[in-house]
């Protein structure tokens, strides 16, 4: 299935995450300690998260079971002159020695790995004690005010976006697998059972996507007490919703914030203008010399535009509240 969708996978990723996935991946990469020497990006797919893991002297491995996806990853890496190791391998039977990794990242992959307990056991085998596991994953709606919107998005919008892809059924699967993964607590319990201590948890886009950062406790498969949040972080630390995660800083981050702020301002202004226009149109509709079909098109343009820019404003606001992307 992933071989089939590999060609347009990145495009759809961007569309479905409303352009937010870069920021989320940057947070995923920052969750890995700077001094981690050997890092595996499991379910690496088109390798879109690999660049963020690049550090001097670090060995980065991207593993995936789909050769089609790995071919896209290889093509992505070629012009960069950097060659992470790309490995076609099943995450349940990794061709790696016990305790050989300092860190593992998985972006939008763990949901595909069933039984989850077996997948986590394999990760506990290859990670050294104290090693970091960072998981970025789309979750099912949790109870709350945004749940109906989130459900609508997963049930209607995601399968619709699949029409751009070569295999629409893959996007119907995406929606189903997110519901099957659940809103998060089940995954957290599985992590704990596999011997991981959660050190940080962050929600993006009102809980549509989560980032979990965990540390493999000594003994691996025994239950352990939660670790101190500082243990996997040596970049700048930002406090957010009681969770510590490293965050970008410096002039580049300031410039990124200023630019995102400008976009947010424009987007809010456009939303307000379109809502005002829609109201004026509704009030003076009968007086306008328009044919029925013209009236319908104008209505859809104004309403669609207002909704589109409102969604974009929310997305930009969420992005602004998160960490600045690295580099």
Ligand X SMILES: C[S@@+](CC[C@H](N)C(=O)[O-])C[C@H]1O[C@@H](n2cnc3c(N)ncnc32)[C@H](O)[C@@H]1O
- Count CB neighbours of 157 within 10 A: 14
Cβ 125 to ligand X, closest distance in Å? 14
Nearest to ligand X of 18, 290 (CB atom): 18
Nearest to ligand X of 13, 271 (CB atom): 13
Cβ 64 to ligand X, closest distance in Å? 4
Provide the token pair at 58: 């670090």
Cβ 95 to ligand X, closest distance in Å? 12
Residues 6+ apart with CB under 8 A from 35: 102, 234
CA-CA distance, 222 to 124, in Å (whole number)? 11
Nearest to ligand X of 2, 153 (CB atom): 2
CA-CA distance, 191 to 223, in Å (whole number)? 10
Parallel, antiparallel, or unpaired: how do β-strands 85-88 and 101-107 relate? unpaired
Cβ 37 to ligand X, closest distance in Å? 21
Nearest to ligand X of 48, 154 (CB atom): 48
Kindly list the residues in this chain that would bind ligand X in the complex (CB under 6 A): 2, 13, 43-45, 48-49, 64-66, 69, 90-92, 107-109, 112-113
Q: Comparing C-alpha atoms, which of 277, 162, 139 is closest to residue 208? A: 139
Nearest to ligand X of 69, 245 (CB atom): 69
Question: Which residue number places its CB atom closest to ligand X?
Answer: 45
CA torsion sign for 287, 293, 295, 298 is: negative
Cβ 288 to ligand X, closest distance in Å? 47
């Amino acid at each position: 299935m992933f071989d089939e969708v590999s060609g347009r996978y990145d495009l759809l990723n961007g569309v479905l995450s409303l352009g937010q996935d870069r920021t989320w991946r940057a947070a995923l990469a920052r969750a890995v300690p700077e001094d981690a020497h050997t890092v595996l990006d499991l379910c690496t797919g088109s390798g879109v998260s690999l660049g963020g893991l690049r550090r001097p002297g670090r060995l980065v491995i991207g593993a995936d079971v789909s050769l089609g996806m790995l071919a896209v990853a290889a093509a992505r890496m070629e012009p960069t002159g950097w060659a992470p190791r790309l490995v076609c391998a099943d995450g349940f039977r990794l061709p790696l020695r016990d305790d050989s990794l300092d860190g593992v990242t998985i972006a939008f992959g763990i949901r595909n790995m069933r039984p989850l307990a077996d997948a986590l056991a394999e990760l506990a085998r290859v990670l050294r004690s104290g090693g970091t596991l960072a998981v970025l994953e789309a979750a099912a709606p949790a109870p709350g005010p945004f749940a109906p919107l989130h459900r609508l998005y997963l049930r209607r919008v995601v399968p619709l976006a699949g029409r751009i892809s070569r295999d629409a059924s893959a996007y119907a699967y995406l929606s189903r697998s997110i519901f099957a993964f659940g809103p998060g607590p089940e995954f957290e319990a599985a992590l704990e059972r596999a011997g991981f201590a959660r050190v940080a948890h962050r929600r993006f886009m009102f809980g549509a996507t989560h980032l979990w950062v965990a540390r493999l406790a000594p003994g691996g498969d025994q239950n352990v007490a939660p670790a101190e949040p500082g243990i996997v972080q040596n970049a700048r630390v930002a406090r957010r919703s009681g969770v510590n995660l490293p965050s970008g800083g410096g002039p580049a981050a300031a410039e990124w914030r200023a630019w995102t702020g400008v976009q947010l301002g424009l987007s809010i202004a456009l939303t307000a203008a379109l809502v005002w226009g829609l109201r004026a149109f509704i009030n003076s509709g009968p007086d306008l010399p328009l044919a029925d079909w013209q009236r319908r098109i104008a209505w859809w343009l104004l309403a669609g535009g207002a909704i589109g820019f409102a969604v974009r404003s929310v997305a930009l606001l969420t992005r602004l509240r998160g960490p600045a992307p690295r580099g």
